[in-house]
Amino acid sequence: MNDPTQIVNYEMRGGEGTQFAYWTRYYNKELNDKITKADLEMDVKKREAAYAEIQKQFQGDAPIVWLAFTPATAAWNSSKVEGFLIEGLSYYRFENVKIK
């Protein structure tokens, strides 16, 4: 997922009768409007700034409190395996893996 819109809409956009804010049950009309504007913005730098502001407001409202951060972990012998990648959202990528 290379664009923040999916997580933002799933976790932060809320409202009566919607599937959004599925597990946070968060609703903020002002933030919904900011999300809509960011989703439609075509300028990459403006989108980046908009999503940063959305995150800041969401975290300030604290509908959820993060207790821990556990990044993906994996181990492999780099002298025998090359091309293995763990993406930022913990997706394991095997399409370029080669065994030496």
Predicted TM-score (pTM) of the model is 0.63
The one-letter amino acid code at 39 reads: D
Give the other-Cβ count within 10 Å of 53's Cβ. 13
The answer to whether the beta carbons of residues 55 and 32 sit under 8 Å apart is: no
Band of pLDDT at residue 86, cut at 50, 70 and 90: confident
Residue pLDDT, tens place only, 67-83: 887 776 778 888 999 99
Share of the chain above pLDDT 90, in %: 39
Neighbours of 11 (CB within 10 A): 17
1 has pLDDT over 60: no
HSE-CB of 74 using CA atoms within 13 angstroms: 14
Q: What is the pLDDT of residues 19-51, one digit of tens each?
A: 667 677 788 889 999 999 999 999 999 999 999
